[in-house]
Amino acid sequence: MAIDKTDPSPQQPSKLRWGELDEDDGEDLDFLLPPKQVHGPDENGIKRVIEYKFNEDGNRVKITTTTRVRKLAKARVSKRAMERRGWAKFGDAVHEDVGSRLTMVSTEEILLERPRAPGSKPEEPKVAGDSLAQLGKGGAILMVCRTCGKKGDHWTSRCPYKDLAPQTEAFVDKPAASETSAAAAGSGKSTYVPPSMRAGAERTGGSDMRRRNDENSVRVTNLSEDTREPDLLELFRTFGPVTRVYVAIDQKTGVSRGFGFVNFVNREDAQRAINKLNGYGYDNLILRVEWATPRAN
C-alpha cells in the first residue's frame, strides 16, 4: 500500500470551502472525490485499487492498494477449473465482474416438467389412443407395481391382479376343503383364505393352484434388434394389465431375434392391443401384432 499526497484539482476548491472541513470533521464529503478505480486482476493475479480520501488535514490523498488474488486458489484449483473461469458468462451473471464471485444464486426462471398436474388423477389406460399418444413423453413416476407393471396407481402389495402372480409355496398353505369355511369364519388361528380358495374363485381342479399365464398371448413380430422387454411392456401396458413380456434372444449372439410375446390378464385388452398396434410404426419398423398360437409342449 502506498499513500501519495496529491494536489487538489484546481476546480474543486472553488466549490469547496476548505475551512469548513475542520468543522465538519467526520462529515461524509467523499462524493467530492473521484470514483474508486479497480484494475485487474491481471494474468498474474495482481489487482490494483485506486481510491481517494481526505486525510485529517483536509488534503486529498490517493490510496493505491495492490493485492495479489488467486495466489492460494492457483495452488488448489485444477487446471480445468481455471479454464472454466475464462468462459464467457451468461444469464444473470453476464454483468458480473470477472472473478468477483465464483458462485451466485440464480434468479432465472427454470421450468420443470411434471408427469402430471399435482393433485390430478393418474391417467386411466382405458382410452388406448390417448395413452399411446403419451408414450415416450417420459416423466418419473415412483410408484410402480411389480406384479402388473402399472405405474402411479398402487403398490405391489395392493395389486388387484396379484393373485395371478406365481406364489411362493409357503403362502399356498391351503386347508382341506371342509376346513375352509371354518377358517373363514374366524374360529381358527387365521382368518386368511388364499384368493384361490375363496368363494367364487375359479377352480383349476389340479393340485397346483398356481395358474400358468399363457392365456391371452399376443405375438409381436418385426421388432427392431434393440427392442427389449421393458420397451414392449411400456408399449402394451397402456391397454391393460400385462402378466408377461418376452423377447426372443439368440442364445449365441445375445441379440434379439425380432419377435416377442405379451400376455394380458384380460382377453379384451389383448384384442384391443392387436387392433391398435398391428401395423403401428415403432423404431422405424412396422409392428405385426397377432394372437399367438399356443406354445408346443
**Contact 245/232 with Cβ under 8 angstroms?**
yes
Among 131, 180, 196, 222, binds DNA (CB under 7 A): 222
Structural Rg of the chain based on CA atoms: 39
Using alpha carbons, list the distances in angstroms from residue 68 to 43, 44, 194, 226. 11, 8, 78, 58
| Beta carbon nearer to DNA, 163 or 214 | 214
- Residue 69's nearest CA partner among 34, 96, 43 is 43
| Beta carbon nearer to DNA, 246 or 280 | 246
Binding span for DNA by CB under 7 A among 89-97, 127-135, 268-276, 284-292:
284-292
CB atoms within 10 A of CB 201: 13
| Beta carbon nearer to DNA, 51 or 214 | 214
**Contact 219/292 with Cβ under 8 angstroms?**
yes
Q: Which of residues 229-258 bind DNA (CB under 7 A)?
A: 246, 248-249, 251, 257-258
Taking CB under 7 A as the rule, does residue 296 contact DNA?
Answer: yes
Using alpha carbons, list the distances in angstroms from residue 122 to 88, 143, 208, 269. 44, 11, 37, 19
Taking CB under 7 A as the rule, does residue 295 contact DNA?
Answer: yes
Taking CB under 7 A as the rule, does residue 297 contact DNA?
Answer: yes
Taking CB under 7 A as the rule, does residue 154 contact DNA?
Answer: no
Taking CB under 7 A as the rule, does residue 214 contact DNA?
Answer: yes
| Beta carbon nearer to DNA, 59 or 221 | 221
Among 59, 180, 221, 266, binds DNA (CB under 7 A): 221
**Contact 171/274 with Cβ under 8 angstroms?**
no
- Residue 123's nearest CA partner among 99, 92, 146, 153 is 153
Among 161, 236, 239, 261, binds DNA (CB under 7 A): 261
CA distance 214 to 237: 17
Residue 167 is placed in which grid cell? 406364489
| Beta carbon nearer to DNA, 3 or 255 | 255
Residues lying near DNA in the complex (CB under 7 A) are found at 214, 217, 219, 221-222, 246, 248-249, 251, 257-259, 261, 288, 290, 292-297
